[in-house]
Structure 1
Amino acid sequence: MTSHIGTVARKEFDDAGRSKLLWALIGLLVGIVVIGYAAIWYTADDVTAAEMLSFLGFPLQTIVPIAALIAGYMAVVGERRSGSIKLLLGLPPNRTDVVFGKLLGRMAVVAAAVVLAFLVALVLSAVLFGGVPIVDWLGFAAVTLLFGVAFAGLAVGVSAAVATRGKSMALVVGIYMLLVALWELVTAGPYYLVYGEGPPVEAETWYLLLEQFNPMSAYTTLASETVEGTVPPFTFQYGLESFEASQLTPAERYAGAGDAPFFLQDWFGVVVLLCWLVVPVAIGYYRFQKTDL
């Protein structure tokens, strides 16, 4: 059977690329890069081009997931809402082509936005700071690209799993709020109830593994490994664990003898981001295949 995933992906890239809201977010992302570089260059005399990259970590982890979620949350459910899904499936593309074609198309849009932002950063680094830390730049760009497509996969998976725009929006907004605003409550809160105190710096392995699976933390851990300086995670803090603990990676907080287990190592953040890409898509694909349209 001939696959039409590429055809659907090209159409999705064109359709998503015409979204005014998405282009506004892309403009905001590029604008933040420009403003950040100009502001640091103007106000600080001792910042290097390599150190400048770490300053981009905070705005990137804020804007990239939002742009990716907006790019993907209507990918499949939008076709169902308009009724065009029946027409689309009446043509050569089947349900597999639709889900994975839309996934590739929306991922390509997010990737284009991230690449554009990093190309702007490359030019500004050369012009304002007199050099380009090419190894750091490539590593940071690759991590941010994976971060963005992971959230795009999450959004497309949700879109394929539900039947209405409202449910898709509610789920992606709810998941984003969980990861950013409620993560400490749902992880450190139960820890406090079990042990009668907040998680210490050297916490139990199960808790550190749970912390490792927040894609925001996985991204900042990986980003901090690729640039000079530390990229702090953009998550709300409620005081259930110390500020010192919240700034350390799971590997740094491991209390056991010897090195931390592999699932707490910094590189495992790549696996975490891939899980946030693959698992929602798999769930959404399964539900979409079983849905009576």
Structure 2
Amino acid sequence: MNSMGQPMAFFVPLLGLGIAYNSIVGERESGSIKLALGLPNSRRDIVFGKFIGRSIVLAVAILTAFLVVAVIALLTYESFAAVEFVLYTVMTVFYGLVYVAIGIGFSSTVNSQPTALAGATGLYVLFQLGWDAVTAVLQTVTVGWVPPESGPPDWVILVYVLNPTAAMEYATQAIIPEFDAITAYPASDAFYLQEWVGFPILAAWLLLPLGFGYRTFARMEIR
């Protein structure tokens, strides 16, 4: 898990956004979306069908990679925590589906492939770098660069946890306590900042972009 944590955090979002950002806008620009809608398919079928298809592609890629890692671990380590490994694999797939949903939701709302590419790139930078920078600025402005012994204010921690990557860390810690040994994140006694909060945040990032993308796509004029 220690070896896989950072690659997972950086590459899974990249793969999820990469296979999803062009899924709908690309077909709109090529005109193939008209053929799909000419068949007994609704726009809801298009959006959620793309999500299911891209999710399967990403899940297969993740499961294949983790299978290779499992084989290497079995051959090189004296023991293998199979339950924790399986749970971490499931969480990683779920994490990937979140970014597929974000990419498809964004692809459903824009009108050109360059805009979709720029948006996917911007979202990746935001979630991987920009979010931490914003959180650091908020902390510096409110309590200083070095937080007090009691930790940053709860609302600053909440802003941090709203990032899908941070939410993934919290959710994983909720089901794999050993994950805490390789992960450092702000702690709080507030009930809404415990490890379980990662699950509803990830679910929101999965459902809201898909829902918003579908509603926007449903109102678009297809030319």
Aligned residue in 1 for 2:164: 215
1:116 — aligned with what?
Answer: 64
Q: How many Å separate the matches in 1 of 2:42 and 2:81? A: 45
Aligned to 2:16: 68
Structure 1: give runs of 5+ residues left out of the alignment: 1-52, 233-246
Among 205, 208, 212, which residue is 1:276 paired with? 205
Q: Percent identity?
A: 32
- Partner of 1:264 in structure 2? 193
Instruction: Note the aligned Cα RMSD (angstroms).
Output: 1.9
Contact 1:147 1:273 in 2 (8 A): yes
Runs of 5+ unmatched residues, structure 2: none
Following TM superposition, the consecutive aligned residue runs of length 4 or more in structure 1 with deviations greater than 4 angstroms are none
What aligned pairs does 1:17-32 form with structure 2 within 5 A after superposition?
none
Q: State the aligned residue count.
A: 218
Give the letter for the 1:129 counterpart.
Y
TM-score normalised per structure 2: 0.90
CA distance in 2, matches of 1:109, 1:60: 16
Deviation per residue, 1:210-237 (Å, 9 max, x gap): 11111111223334552456444xxxxx
Contact kept in structure 2, 1:187 and 1:207, CA below 8 Å: yes
Is the alpha carbon distance of 1:131 and 1:93 closer, same or farther for their aligned partners in structure 2, counting shifts above 3 Å? Answer: same
| Amino acid of the structure 1 residue aligned with 2:158 | L
CA distance, structure 1, for counterparts of residue 160 and residue 53 of structure 2 = 31
The alignment status of 1:78 with 2:23, answered yes or no, reads: no
CA contact (8 A) 2:169 2:198 kept: no
Structure showing greater relative contact order (alpha-carbon pairs closer than 8 Å, 6 or more residues apart) = 2
Q: Give 1:64 shift.
A: 1.0
Q: Distance in 1 between matches of 2:182 and 2:115?
A: 33
Give the Cα separation in 1 of the matches to 2:54 and 2:112.
19
| Distance verdict in 2 for CA 1:136–1:106, change over 3 Å | same
Equivalent-residue separation in structure 2 for 1:279 and 1:154 (angstroms): 8
Write the distance in 2 (CA, Å) between the matches of 1:199 and 1:149: 35
Does the Cα contact within 8 Å between 2:107 and 2:213 map onto a contact in 1? yes
**TM-score when scaled to structure 1?**
0.69
Residue 206 of structure 1 pairs with residue 136 of structure 2 = no
1:232-252 Cα distance to aligned partner (Å, 9 max, x none): 4xxxxxxxxxxxxxx333xx2
- The structure that has the greater radius of gyration is 1
> Contact between 1:159 and 1:168, CA under 8 Å: does it hold in 2?
yes
